[in-house]
Amino acid sequence: MVGPATSGSDGDRAAAVRPGYGRLLRTPGAWTFLLPGFAARQPFAMLTIGIVLLVQHTTGSFGSAGAVAAVTGVSMAFFAPQGGRLADRFGQRAVLVPGVLVHTGSVTALITLALAGAPLWALFAAAVSTGASVPQIGPMVRSRWAAVLGGGKGTGGSGGVSPLLPTAAAFESVTDEFTFVIGPVLATALCTGVHPAAGLIAEAALTLAGGLLFAAQRRTQPRPGARGSGASAEPRASALAVPGVRVLAVAFLGIGSVFGGMQVSLTAFTDEIGAPGLNGLLYGIFAAGNMLAGIVCGAVAWRTGPRRRLVLGYAGLTLASSALWAVHSVALLAGLGLLVGLCVAPTLITGYTLVESLVPASARTEAFTWLTGAVALGQAAAVTTAGRLADAYGAGAGFVVPLAGTALALATLVALRSRLTPRAPGRVAARGMSHRAPVTVD
């Protein structure tokens, strides 16, 4: 098999067949970081809904619950890229081990304060450290794939980009969505069936165990400070200096608005109809749509360029979100949620794939965390806004948030899509950071 054709602008018409998941998973050393990484990335799927359910239980307000969750998301959005940059410079283990310990302690403090009826400002304080210390396992796993596969290693390549990298990007998006199938359902079941704090307790335990096991896998982590061949003369610059990364970060705010708006609004909807246990099921259906679409995306050799796919994906997402606010049937809402989920994965996969061609290896983890942080920031804004709208006008009003977020993201992409074109090798842009094809990271 041969990989997709090199993309100049949007013209990466893939005449060849993309390598499959089976070949990807036979990559030496892959399972050593995939299994612990799967457990350690659960916080991103369980944290927001766990906070919403606990704080709503102790305060009786979706607005307060959304505000605490929003503080967590904002904190994560601002601190995650800095953690990613430190991981690129000093190594993933050096950042991950203390971060996991701080996160576990912060979640414990948040649970204790909420159950003790502490004032909202105290919950906000605990939420800041909780969000700031969320381990960025997803970006770290993506960087490990790039390190293992970069330059065609293990694929028969000889210095070019591995044809397995797009498949790895799709596989990681599928894994992310699978955690969003399991995480919210598990957190909701624990909070409603065991104890309101049980979801966050499980989140902290998974973070601690999975994070430490992931950090112990030293052989597959990218070498600290690696810049790739021929890049030693490049000044170290933030990945956010690349215009395309900034555009993607803004666009990914729209993805966050979908996650946050759906979580809060589905919670409010099931509370309104007197069936709170359905919340996890409905959100799981939405996440299952993400996962299914991700599986398909990873198996397809696309004939359209990534920029066009990204715009089309957001257009479909905006259209699918447009009817959520008017639905009052569980069955119809489940069907629409599935449709919205089917539109999310292609946009995520395409965005992460574009990053590979926009930034050098020395800033890859940071670039991934900017996108992840943008999702968290969009989610934070969405849970706050949707929570207040649900309190004031009912669950239907909360569903307006995903529509507004995706529509704004779509407008941004249409206006600035030219900035998503990788620069030609050797050309310098944005504060001295050159845009080169991904190179080998040993």
pLDDT in tens, 109-125: 999 999 998 999 999 99
Q: pLDDT higher for 300 or 330?
A: 330
Each domain of the chain, given as residue ranges in start order, spans 28-225+238-423
Q: pLDDT higher for 54 or 37?
A: 54
Count Cβ atoms within 10 A of the Cβ of residue 89 and give its class: 0-12 exposed, 13-18 middle, 19 or more buried. middle
The reported pLDDT for the residue numbered 130 is: 93
With left for phi above 0 and alpha for psi between -120 and 50, is residue 117 left, alpha or beta? left
Tens digit of pLDDT for each residue in 276-288?
Answer: 778 778 877 887 8
- pTM equals 0.70
427 has pLDDT over 60: no
The amino acid at 253: L
Angle between helices 278-299 and 165-193 (to 10 degrees): 170
Distance CA(27)–CA(223), nearest Å, equals 18
* Lookup result for tokens 């612990």: 36
The reported pLDDT for the residue numbered 301 is: 67
Percent of the chain's residues with pLDDT above 70: 82
What's the mean per-residue pLDDT of the chain?
A: 78
Distance CA(440)–CA(50), nearest Å, equals 40
Tens digit of pLDDT for each residue in 340-374?
Answer: 988 888 888 888 778 777 877 667 777 888 888 88
Taking residues 1-11, what's their average pLDDT?
Answer: 39
What letter does residue 418 receive in the DSSP assignment? G
For 28-225+238-423, which CATH superfamily applies? MFS general substrate transporter like domains (1.20.1250.20)
Distance CA(175)–CA(294), nearest Å, equals 9
Structure tokens at 395: 């669950």
